[in-house]
Amino acid sequence: MNPKLNIVANQFSQLARKSRNNVSSTKVNKEAVDNPPLEIFKLGSKTLRTEAKRISKVDNQIRNLAKEMLQSMYSAKGIGLAGPQVGISKELLVIDINFEDSAAEPLILINPEITAFGSTLNSYEEGCLSIPGVYLNVVRPSTIKLKFRDEMGRPRKMNADGLLARCIQHEVDHLKGVLFIDRVTSTEELKKELTKEGYKMKDVLPLD
C-alpha cells in the first residue's frame, strides 16, 4: 500500500505503541537503497492475481524474505507490501505505518486471517505500490480482529483500527488476488485515474 506521503501516519503512533507487543523484532534500515532486493510487480502482471499459499514452516528463509520485502517497501516509500506483489505466492505481509520513524518496528504477518470486521465503515483514499500514481477512495470496515503467526512462527492475535486496519485489509486482499481498484465504486473516477497513469480498465476485476 502506498498512500500519499503526507498521509496521517503520525496520528496512529499511539496505536502502533499499543500494538508493540505484537510487532516484529526484525531490524531493517528504513533508508531507501538504490537497488532494492525485490522487484515490485505492476498492474497487468498475472502474479498480482494469483492466490497466495499458506506458509507451512516459518524458518530463516521466510525471515530473510520478510527482510527483503521490508527493504523493498521502504525503498518504494510504501507502508505495506504483500508476497504476490514481489512475485512470491506466499501468505506473507510486511507493514509499517510509521515508516518515517526509525524507532518504530514493522509488522510481519504470516498466514494472516481477519477473524472479525467492525460494523462501522469509512471511506479513505488508498494507493498501491503495484499501481503507482493512482489514488482513489475505498470503503472498508474501520476496525478488525486478526490472527497470524509472527516471524518466529508464534501464533498471535491483535485488534486494529484506523490506518493500520485499512492497511492490513488492503494487504490481505493481495493474498487473494484482489487489488484496491477492484473495490472502487466510482467507475468514472476509476477510469479517469487509470487512464491518466497509462493503465487499462480491463485489468480491473469485478468482485462477487
Torsion angles phi and psi, residue 191, rounded to 5: -60, -40
Q: pLDDT band for 20, please (50, 70, 90 cuts).
A: very low
Residues 94-148: tens digit of each pLDDT: 999 998 888 899 999 999 999 999 999 999 999 999 999 999 999 999 999 999 9
Per-chain mean pLDDT for the chain: 90
Catalytic residue flag (residue 171): yes
Q: What is the percent of the chain with per-residue pLDDT over 90, rounded to a whole number?
A: 80
Reply yes or no on whether the pLDDT at 16 is more than 70: no
pLDDT value of residue 27: 77
pLDDT value of residue 206: 86
Q: Domains along the chain?
A: 9-201 (3.90.45.10)
Spatial separation of the C-alpha atoms in residues 107 and 70, rounded to whole Å: 10
Identify the active-site residue in 31, 171, 189, 193.
Answer: 171
Spatial separation of the C-alpha atoms in residues 142 and 136, rounded to whole Å: 17
Residues 45-62: tens digit of each pLDDT: 999 999 999 999 999 999
Give whole-number Cα distances, 30 to 70, 75, 171, in Å: 8, 8, 20
Give whole-number Cα distances, 33 to 28, 48, 84, 152, in Å: 12, 24, 21, 26
pLDDT value of residue 4: 55
Entry pTM: 0.88
**Element (H or E) spanning 52, and its range?**
none
- How many CA atoms does the CB half-sphere of 110 hold within 13 Å? 19
